[in-house]
Chains A and B, each alone.
Chain A
Amino acid sequence: MAIIERPAPTLPTIVTPTTTYGVLKRPVSATGWRSWVFTVDHKKLGIMYGAAAMFFFIVGGVEALLIRLQLAAPNGKVLNADLYNQMFTMHATTMVFLFVMPMAAGFANYFVPLQIGARDVAFPRLNAFGFWAFLFGGIFLNLAWFLGGAADGGWFMYAPNSGPVFSPTNGVDFWALGLQITGIASLTGAINLIITVLNMRAPGMSLMRMPIFTWMITVVQFLLLFAIPVITVALFLLSFQRNFGAQFFDVAAGADPLLWQHLFWIFGHPEVYVLILPSFGIVSEVLPVFSRKPLFGYPFVVFSGAAIGFVGWGVWAHHMFASGLGPVSVAVFSLTTMAIAVPTGVKIINWTLTMWGGKLWFTTAMKFAIGLIVLFTVGGLSGVTHAVAPSDTQQTDTYYIVAHFHYVLFGGAVLGIFSGFYYWWPKVFGKLLNEKLGSWNFWLMVIGLNLTFGPMHILGLQGQPRRMYQWTEARAGEGFFNFAFWNLVASIGSFILAVGILLFLINVVITARNPQKAPLDPWNARSLEWMTTNPPKEHNFDVIPTVHHLDDFFHQKYEEDAATHTMTQVRTAEEIMAEQERNADKHIHMPSPSYWPIVLAFGLPVITMGLIYSLLISVIGGVVVLFAAYGWALESSTAPDSDFENSAPGSGLDKVAANHD
């Protein structure tokens, strides 16, 4: 069995790499930009996902602020109608596909292997490919801004409006093809994480001993595994309509516009659970730690997450209540939609009962987690009103719906993400984010989001439709519920929200400059990712743990007195780590960096660019993809021993050679 000891990170790794195709040498740098671009390390990939997602969050945020500027006053002149359409389409597309999903992927990539006691994911090169495919897909999508106009049909891109007749610019093509690329990234990521969770758990880590975050991520990956192909079909049909003259959405030929709607929402509804479950998972980690109590009803939280994932497939047409489905379909989907509120309610109860009787510690992470419980519930309540089909007929396509999904997405998914930032930052970057600034960050975001989205309930019920680029004095209405006042409040709120987010970015910069290092286990946490150095070593664990309990790390620190059931601390995190280092595994082989993931990923936008402009470019992209695929297939996932022999003297690799059999 090949055994390679990774040299300590301070030593430069200069090796003679193996060759693929007899010509190209394998990348082996441990430092510098190459160690990021060719990495297959789940932790580096997690950080890159997070950074890219943050960038797109700001892009999507700027798009939102432009929308709010346009709607702040009647007869807005900031954006014309055409640009407005592009703005709301890209705001939503960016936030859903390029911010929330990749941010969750970032957390999942970093923490799932750590939480299950593994050293990496099942398919490290596939993992790297997924990141680069997402990044290139996201960039490709946004190129449309500079190449004739971005997509403008709304993020759900209803056909035939999105077809060649009514959307003649390339924007929709960039959108459809860009999402195909990011879809491939999501699908491969899903396969990877599912197999990782099924197959790479540490000894003793049964499924019912996994942390809730890992459970929720697993449910999300199953949702993605089965939902992405559905939107893939829809996007192909749309692209074929637009570019090859297919008839799928041509009403004159007998097409039914509902085809698009069904296919999109069969994907789209599981998608919203993809967006929220990771944050539910984060919050399920944070609340017990800062309540200094174990999670209440662990099995219920697990099963309700699985139930949400399952029942979520049966509700999609509630997005289509006003589309002419007919009373039978509407009634059925109305009932199923009411049913899905139940498992979410179970979670809310379990979270609340976790906090009940606990010794609450109001760190910023905890504040964001509590914020999620409160604000997601608000969004959930408006959601229940949508489930009632007759009332939804008034609400649909109004700002009332916009209010609902922003409460669940911002108040839910985003607050959960920020909770995760504050909670896990010391582990990933070795420093604690400033708590004082964090508090300002939290409160400004909460105030901002309530001021922005709260009034939208009123605006919606008063009749302000979605996706209208302007509202006029004549339509504004009078009295307490007039458009003018509440639109202005919403717009001001959005800027307060923006300042709150800016404070987070400032916090990141200040923390980076702060020399003070964080302790190994600042929060006295419960799960295995905390049983590592700050940041974790490349191989994560010196010794693969044997798991005896749920919250095993906590149980290593504390022993329960059988009579009084009190917990006494018997070990600190530092002591546990020192013991691990003393008993460290001598021979650890980690998967090696590779060129092929990024090269293959690069071929994809080349193919799609060619589909828009010239098929010759697609052929070139296809060649790149094939070339990279063969290179990948012919390369072993771990560099063989020969890579580390015959090394330059003084390179430090004599230590490596000494570890060989």
Chain B
Amino acid sequence: MTTNTADTTHEKQHGMSDAGYIRIAIILAAITGLEVSTYYVDFGVLFLPALLIMMVIKFVMVVSYFMHLKFDNKMFSFLFYAGLVLAIGVYAAFLATFKFFIQ
């Protein structure tokens, strides 16, 4: 985890140094803590949106940084996000037919 030039080019190639990954992990831990706090603290009407947003942020962070998708060829993103978007679309429609989203 030195900061010589070899590491910098290495960083450019692979996106992040070990220190960077640890930073991401700390952010993820903090968000997790915030998620868990919803169990103890009353968020009121913000409860559901806050949880869902935090879930999405963690998801995207792990995918983009730990799984390196942000720095890699766009083809990988296409393959993965095609599946993800299709899954969300199809299963949301499925649940909608059961009136799941209507309170």
Contacts and interface: CB of A to CB of B under 8 A. Distances in A.
A190 to B, nearest CB: 11
B97 A325 contact: yes
A256 B79 CA distance: 33
Contacts of B90: 230, 266, 313
B97 A317 contact: yes
B50 to A, nearest CB: 30
A293 interface: no
Interface string B6-45: 0000000000000000000000000000000000000000
Contacts of A263: 94
Contacts of A230: 90
A239 to B, nearest CB: 21
A329 interface: yes
B83 A225 contact: yes
A325 B97 CA distance: 7
Contacts of B83: 225-226
A148 B89 CA distance: 41
Contact of B75 (A198, A258, A262, A325): A198
Nearest to A330: B97
Contacts of A357: none
Nearest to B87: A226
Nearest to B94: A262
B52 interface: no
Interface in A508-562: none
A329 B75 CA distance: 34
A325 B93 CA distance: 12
- The DSSP consensus for interface residues of chain A is helix
B98 interface: yes
A254 interface: no
A22 interface: no
A137 B41 CA distance: 53
Contacts of A262: 94, 97
A266 B97 contact: no
Interface string B71-88: 000010001001100110
A536 B75 CA distance: 32
A320 to B, nearest CB: 9
Given A226-B83, A313-B89, A266 B94 contact: yes
A222 B75 CA distance: 14
Nearest to B96: A329
A113 B56 CA distance: 40
Choose among B83, B96, B97 the residue with the greatest number of A CB atoms under 10 Å from its CB.
Answer: B97
B80 to A, nearest CB: 11
A326 interface: yes
Nearest to A263: B94
A326 B100 CA distance: 14
B86 A258 contact: no
Nearest to A265: B94
Interface string A318-350: 000000011001000000000000000000000
B16 to A, nearest CB: 26
Contacts of B75: 198
B72 to A, nearest CB: 14
Interface residues of B, number: 13
Nearest to B95: A262
A194 B80 CA distance: 13
A313 B86 CA distance: 8
A222 B86 CA distance: 11
A226 B81 CA distance: 12
A326 B90 CA distance: 18
A326 B97 contact: yes
A214 B87 CA distance: 26
Contacts of A198: 75
Contacts of A226: 82-83, 86-87
Interface string A247-271: 0000000001010001100100000
A194 B78 CA distance: 13
B98 A258 contact: yes
Contact of A256 (B82, B93, B98): B98
A46 B28 CA distance: 48
Contacts of B97: 258, 262, 317, 325-326, 329
A307 to B, nearest CB: 15
Interface in A411-450: none
Nearest to A316: B90
A12 B75 CA distance: 43
A325 B96 CA distance: 11
A585 B96 CA distance: 58
Choose among B82, B87, B89, B94 the residue with the greatest number of A CB atoms under 10 Å from its CB.
Answer: B94
Interface in A258-301: 258, 262-263, 266
Nearest to A336: B93
B13 to A, nearest CB: 20
Nearest to A332: B93
A317 B96 CA distance: 12
A228 to B, nearest CB: 12
A493 B93 CA distance: 42
A336 to B, nearest CB: 10
A275 to B, nearest CB: 19
A319 to B, nearest CB: 13
A263 B96 CA distance: 14
Interface string A180-203: 000000000000001000100000
A266 B79 CA distance: 19
A194 B79 CA distance: 10
A333 to B, nearest CB: 9
B91 to A, nearest CB: 8
Contacts of A314: 93
A266 B97 CA distance: 13
Contacts of A258: 97-98
A258 to B, nearest CB: 7
Contacts of B82: 222, 226
B36 to A, nearest CB: 29
A222 B80 CA distance: 12
A262 B79 CA distance: 24
Contacts of B89: 313
Nearest to B93: A314
A221 to B, nearest CB: 12
Nearest to B97: A329
Given A262-B97, A313-B86, 4 more contacts: A222-B82, A256-B98, A263-B94, A314-B93
Interface of B: 75, 79, 82-83, 86-87, 89-90, 93-94, 96-98
Question: Considering the complex of A and B, which 4 residue pairs feature the smallest CB-CB distances, nearest first?
Answer: A329-B97, A262-B94, A226-B86, A266-B90
17 contacts: A194-B79, A198-B75, A222-B82, A225-B83, A226-B82, A226-B83, A226-B86, A226-B87, A256-B98, A258-B97, A262-B97, A263-B94, A266-B90, A313-B86, A313-B89, A329-B96, A329-B97
